[in-house]
Chains A and B, each alone.
Chain A
Amino acid sequence: MTPPRTWRRLTPARAAARALGQAALAVVVAWMLARLGIEWGYVRDAPSQVADLLGRMFPPDWGFAGALVAPLVQTINIATLGTALAIILSLPVALLAAANTTPNRVTYAAARLVMVVSRSVDTLIWALVFIIAVGPGSLAGVLAVGVRSIGFVSKLLAEGIEEIDRGQVEAVTATGAGRWQVLAYAVVPQIRPVFAGVAIYRWDINVRESTVLGIVGAGGIGFALNEAILGLDWSRVGTILAVVLAVVLASEAASASLRKRLT
């Protein structure tokens, strides 16, 4: 009588490799935790400390909300203008960064480099750079938002461009249309929904980004927030956070409905 057959999901080699990988990951994480030098006493205290902080923010100082209108409007301004700037600059960058529309390898590489640098550096860091150039204020904020968004928008746009139906381009080219006409008639209509969707999506993200630019001095409501926190004025902080919450939620809703309409 033969002994019962066995079955294993992974071969011994693969099972060993998997175990090894998991062990390595655990070791790395443990090492990182140790290196971070976290005081576990503080970790234990954290929930109560956070609760205490939140408690001090209630009730919010609603009277203060009036003074927040101007900074809020400025925040949205910065987000909108920055996104608009990015939109204008992203189209050429995307066309150069897409393998099927770029003229040569140099332009392709250059465009890709621009995209990478733009999106690896956070908006806030760009803000620091532009503050040095044009001084503190919302202009620096707009430029920062704009430059950071170029990477995001053009990356998605380039992907959209690379996925277009070649057949349509072929057909329009076959009619004898020039390079720019082909772009306008065969490429742009195909990427328009992508473009609209991405632009609105980025605007939504930029509204959130713009709320903190003021912390480093690049305009918007961040400045008021920082001031309130430095002054330990917690009920005002509560007001500001509540107002920011409302604005971001509103922009998300607007963005979602617009995108559904346009794509």
Chain B
Amino acid sequence: MSGRAWRPPSVWPRPWMGPLLVGAALAFLAWNAASLEVDPQRIARGLSRLGAVAARAFPPDWSRGGLLAAGVLESVEIATVSTLLGMALGIPVAVLAARNVVPLPVYAGGRGVITLGRTFHELIVAILFVKAVGFGPLAGVLTLGLHSVGFFAKLLAEQIETIDRGQIEAVRATGASPAQVLIYGVLPQVLPRVVGLAVYQWDIHLRQSTIIGIVGAGGIGATLYNAFARYDFDFALAILIVIVAIVLVGEAVSAVARRMVR
């Protein structure tokens, strides 16, 4: 009796596609790596230099606490204000982009704005805003606010598209005005998610606000960049420690807030 062979089924339409794709991917990666001009010497030198940097970074330099605090505080402020701005703009855009509320051309336009807002990295947007309104936190607030409109609007639009139409139908049937239908039928379904999204966005903004200063849009980014440029590694480490701490606190706050709204 000859034994039968068995292979696990492939997720691809043709069995040879899997290995072919893996092979192609590996070849692609190898080509990528080759174009990097990496040699073991460079890595070794890099590691030793990293070690030297780490040595110079300890202990962290807290002497310029005032500068540090001011920068970090500005970052938090930018993060908070821009989250609110993103929400304020995101809600109307989401309503425009939700298919079941508006006609098709408006829907397409709304979705177009959303895509643009999400595609460009915040640093690019920051550079443009700095050029448009000058250096300082205003550019930062506009950058993060606008950048998050896309994110906010997309998720909110998805939320609106999947709400229970029956509940809305019932409220309409009582003779309620469109505004009342919104308040009584739509809002209770959508509000918890809105709060969750807002807090999640605030978290992301906290991290983003730490780097936009590099191009002059306010916050601790500029201070951090200068510290690196001047080889003030101990100061840089102090800044980084505070940044990590802030991000962690932000995550904790966001977890609590989301639990409270259920």
Q: Is residue B97 within 8 Å, beta carbon to beta carbon, of the partner chain?
A: no
Which residue of A32, A39, A53, A121 contacts B128 across the interface (Cβ within 8 Å)?
A53
Neighbouring A residues of B136 by C-beta, 8 Å: 37-38
What B residues does A261 contact at CB under 8 A?
11-12
Given contacts A50-B132, A139-B42, A229-B131, contact A116 B244 (CB under 8 A): yes
The majority secondary structure among interface residues of chain B is helix
Q: Which of B236-262 contact A (CB under 8 A)?
A: 240, 243-244, 247-248
A125 is an interface residue with CB less than 8 A from chain B: yes
A142 to B49, CA, bound (A): 17
**Residue B184 CB within 8 A of the other chain:** no
Interface size on B, residues (CB 8 A): 59
| Bound Cα distance A57, B119 (Å) | 18
- Determine if A212 and B124 form an interchain contact, defined as CB atoms under 8 angstroms apart: yes
Interchain CA distance A39-B142 in the complex, whole Å: 13
* Chain B contacts for A142, CB-based, 8 A: 36
Q: Nearest chain-B residue to A258 (Cβ)?
A: B21
Kindly count the residue-residue contacts between A and B in the assembled complex, taking CB atoms under 8 Å apart: 145
Q: Looking at chain A, what size class is its interface with the partner chain? A: 35 or more
Q: Which residues of A contact B119 (CB under 8 A)?
A: 208, 244-245, 248-249
Interface membership of A23, Cβ < 8 A: no
A215 contacts B by Cβ under 8 Å: yes
A262→B141 contact, CB < 8 A:
no
**Contact mask for chain B residues 120-154; partner A; CB cutoff 8 A; 1 contact, 0 none:** 11011001110111101110011000000000000
Give Cα distance in the complex from A98 to B123, angstroms: 34
Whether A169 sits at the interface, judged by CB under 8 Å, is: no
Interface presence of B78 (CB below 8 A):
yes
Is there an interface contact between A49 and B132, defined as CB atoms closer than 8 Å?
Answer: yes
Pairwise interchain contact A77-B138, C-beta atoms closer than 8 A? no
Distance between Cα atoms of A262 and B22 in the complex (Å): 13
* Bound CA span A36–B73, Å: 10
**Residues from chain B with Cβ under 8 Å of A117 in the complex:** 244
Name the segment of A103-111, A127-135, A170-178 touching the other chain.
A127-135
Interface members, chain B 132-178 (any A CB < 8 Å): 132-134, 136-138, 141-142
Of chain A, the residue at the smallest CB distance from B76 is A32
Complex interface: stretch among A40-48, A58-66, A157-165: A40-48
Measuring CB to CB, which residues of chain B are less than 8 angstroms from any residue of chain A?
A: 11-12, 28-29, 32-33, 35-38, 42-43, 45-47, 49-50, 53, 73-74, 77-78, 80-81, 84, 115-116, 119-121, 123-124, 127-129, 131-134, 136-138, 141-142, 207-208, 210-211, 214-215, 218, 224-225, 228, 240, 243-244, 247-248
Beyond known contacts A53-B131, A139-B38: 15 more, CB 8 A cutoff: A32-B77, A35-B77, A36-B77, A36-B137, A52-B132, A80-B32, A121-B244, A124-B214, A125-B210, A129-B228, A133-B46, A225-B127, A241-B120, A244-B120, A249-B119
